[in-house]
Chains A and B, each alone.
Chain A
């Protein structure tokens, strides 16, 4: 290390070269990057489908693609985005890279299983891609029976197998993280000293481990019913299609929290670092993550309010749904309070974090609309729902993902991204996003059902606005793609701690050495102790 020049220093990227050194790596940082490539690919696959959907909806007549194609487009958009982008997005890429570093570990507890998880995601993804190329699947990402088992003439089985395999990837990642957090923390890293990103990723892992197996068995039953013609949900035999919906949403509602909890973790990190203050109410925010993970399992029936679920079950699920709103609200209030009397920097990650808080607030509040039974009956299965979950998943998860990517980019690559371009992209994405999805709330309230290829004329103006927003949004997403690649070669060399952050991951070199730390860190103070980094204390405000 004393061999001077930065380029000479050995780190995880230059320690070995060649395809084999990547495909057989057990280094969590390299696996994190492998995930990053994979999910970026699926993001653009899903994005291409989204683009075609928005082009089709420019006109009410359905004259860009056929209805069959349109149905496949929205199904494959959902499958690609949810199972192969959003669910692995933050935990498997940034989480993989930084969770061990943030708790001062050399690696995850089971590095080989970690590599296996990535391969499972790739194999699952290949099945899904095969299904898409071979002719597509048209059941909607929810695979409701009996349409998916009996009536659809598309590649349901290949897609289902792909999701099944990707599910195991998710389970193994969650298992690995849980064990790592329990058993691999550095000396002195007590639970109450863990960064909030670790807390939220831990909570996410619990959901992955407890929920995903139910999806797996549901897919097996779906497979048996479609392939062997033995009906479990078949109404012709006396089976109950609503049972499928229960089993599907037992996983798929908590899956929403798989997507958004790690996003919340990133926001906690970013808001703290760029206000240079510990997160207000650290303990409360940490416990709120756990509360969301637990309560998130009690609310799935709110997807079934008009599905012939019993009235009483509807009441119970609506009641419980409001409980899960509270920890989310607490988080938003705490982030806002963190800004108070802080030292606030407008660096790109912080701009994305502001975007997240704003959009997540709107997404969360419209969730309250949907949990209100009498109102949900009107707007369920309309564009109101579409807008709501895009505010959470795109406005929430993707904004936070980009915040995290900008925040940790210097650590991962050793290079800075171009700040001006990055700020511009944050602004463009925020504006494009709102223009795309805000009109959809109104569309839904007006009664425009989702998954419609052809629609009545009176909805056209709002659809045109939405499509216009989508093109802005698409441009916004291409910008980071371009300047990140550019920065790998031309970006400024980043120091080990460009933001003045206090986390352990910033106490080692950028890019980090193979085993993360040259010597085992010993933690002596709480997370977000900026005094130890900045040195002197200057009163502001």
Chain B
């Protein structure tokens, strides 16, 4: 086992080759300058070594032309690095519209993963090959970080808010999932596996076992048991705004601002209802902080998302982040 000496990590996502190309460019530049400096030092040190204790070299003061050359050229090169790295980063931060949404709740020291269809996993994540997957993540306690080296991607998972990470796998297999942000005693035990499966196998896996209920069905149950519908009436006659078709829309708030109803907004509205009140309504909703777990909030969010879709859409497992700029 211990005899392996790997140098390159596996490439298993669409992003991985891009990152590796950038890494190669950086490596070539770094190697060039390292060799340049080392060679110059060795050569000068030997060529101009001191031959007598009394010798005194001729003084030459600096040359402005040289100074300009060796600041401007490296600056140009670094700007290429910046542009390249930035475009990759921008790409990494915007999940494609058709990405499969999956939810992740991190806690000391495990990853809890919930699929739209209701499957739950711990420290394992099964995804279909070749489909973009979007993870919406939060933490129940401290900061964690979702890191899959084979996908070359990583995102901190912060308590109190959602963060997003996406990837599209390119190779079936089993890949490491690490927690990369130090999170306490068993930080190094907070690891797991990503299983990238052929689409057919993935379907089998999804239908295997007997999930209790899909995420939005779980949310519906919570919605009923918490009596949300008493105020949030579907026809808009309740004391609170109707939630049908809410997700992804721009909402006019009482304080004059506008906000897009995304996952973070819905989460905040459940936990801190008075923070962003919709125009025309009173801040009468009580908080559900402490009454609903982070998992429960995710289920409610998914249920509210499902309210905006026609029945046909509802069966299709797809992201609903359509109308984003």
Taking CB atoms, residues of chain A closer than 8 Å to B75 are: 322, 326
Taking CB atoms, residues of chain A closer than 8 Å to B176 are: 447, 456
Q: A456-483: which have CB < 8 Å to B?
A: 456-458, 460-462, 464
Summarize B's interface: helix, strand, loop or mixed: mixed
CB closest chain-B residue, reference A338: B44
Q: How far is the CA of A339 from the CA of B40 in the complex (A)?
A: 9
Q: How far is the CA of A500 from the CA of B145 in the complex (A)?
A: 55
Contact pattern, A 315-339, Cβ under 8 Å of B = 1, otherwise 0: 1001100100110011011101101
Q: Is A365 an interface residue (CB 8 A)?
A: yes
Q: A215-240: which have CB < 8 Å to B?
A: 235-236, 238-240
Q: Is A361 an interface residue (CB 8 A)?
A: yes
Taking CB atoms, residues of chain A closer than 8 Å to B183 are: 147
Taking CB atoms, residues of chain B closer than 8 Å to A6 are: none
Q: Is B244 an interface residue (CB 8 A)?
A: no
Q: How far is the CA of A450 from the CA of B84 in the complex (A)?
A: 26
B24 to chain A: closest CB distance in Å?
10
> Chain B, interface size: which category?
35 or more
A114 to chain B: closest CB distance in Å?
35
Question: CB distance A378 to B154 under 8 Å?
Answer: yes
B159 to chain A: closest CB distance in Å?
4
Question: CB distance A341 to B158 under 8 Å?
Answer: no
Taking CB atoms, residues of chain A closer than 8 Å to B182 are: 71, 139-140, 144, 147, 450-451
Taking CB atoms, residues of chain B closer than 8 Å to A381 are: 145, 147, 154, 180-181
Q: Is B142 an interface residue (CB 8 A)?
A: yes
Question: CB distance A373 to B67 under 8 Å?
Answer: no
Question: CB distance B86 to A373 under 8 Å?
Answer: yes
Q: Is B238 an interface residue (CB 8 A)?
A: no
Q: How many residues of A contact B (CB 8 A)?
A: 106
Q: Is A241 an interface residue (CB 8 A)?
A: yes
Question: CB distance A67 to B185 under 8 Å?
Answer: yes
Chain B CB within 10 Å, residue with most, of A144, A357, A452, A531: A452
CB closest chain-B residue, reference A309: B156
Taking CB atoms, residues of chain B closer than 8 Å to A457 are: 1-2, 4
Q: A235-B161, A340-B48, A373-B89 are in contact. Are A319 and B82 (CB under 8 A)?
A: yes
Could you say which of A241, A330, A343, A362 contacts B158, with CB atoms under 8 Å apart?
A241
Q: Is A354 an interface residue (CB 8 A)?
A: yes
Question: CB distance A374 to B88 under 8 Å?
Answer: yes
Question: CB distance B26 to A369 under 8 Å?
Answer: yes
Q: Is B166 an interface residue (CB 8 A)?
A: no
Q: A146-B159, A308-B156 are in contact. Are A339 and B48 (CB under 8 A)?
A: yes
Chain A CB within 10 Å, residue with most, of B29, B44, B150: B44
Known: A71-B187, A326-B74. 12 other contacts (CB 8 A): A68-B185, A71-B185, A140-B182, A281-B63, A283-B62, A330-B70, A358-B37, A358-B41, A381-B181, A442-B7, A456-B176, A530-B56
Can you list 25 residue pairs at the A/B interface with Cβ under 8 Å? A139-B182, A146-B141, A235-B161, A240-B160, A241-B159, A306-B154, A308-B161, A315-B90, A319-B86, A341-B48, A343-B50, A346-B49, A372-B84, A372-B85, A374-B18, A374-B85, A375-B19, A377-B154, A381-B180, A382-B180, A442-B7, A447-B147, A460-B2, A534-B54, A537-B58
Interchain residue pairs A-B with the least CB separation, the first 4? A447-B149, A374-B88, A235-B160, A372-B85
Chain A contact residues, CB within 8 Å of chain B: 60, 62, 67-68, 71, 138-140, 144, 146-147, 150-152, 235-236, 238-242, 275-278, 280-284, 305-308, 311, 314-315, 318-319, 322, 325-326, 329-330, 332-334, 336-337, 339-346, 354, 357-358, 361-362, 365-366, 368-369, 371-378, 380-382, 442, 445-447, 449-458, 460-462, 464, 500, 530-531, 534-541
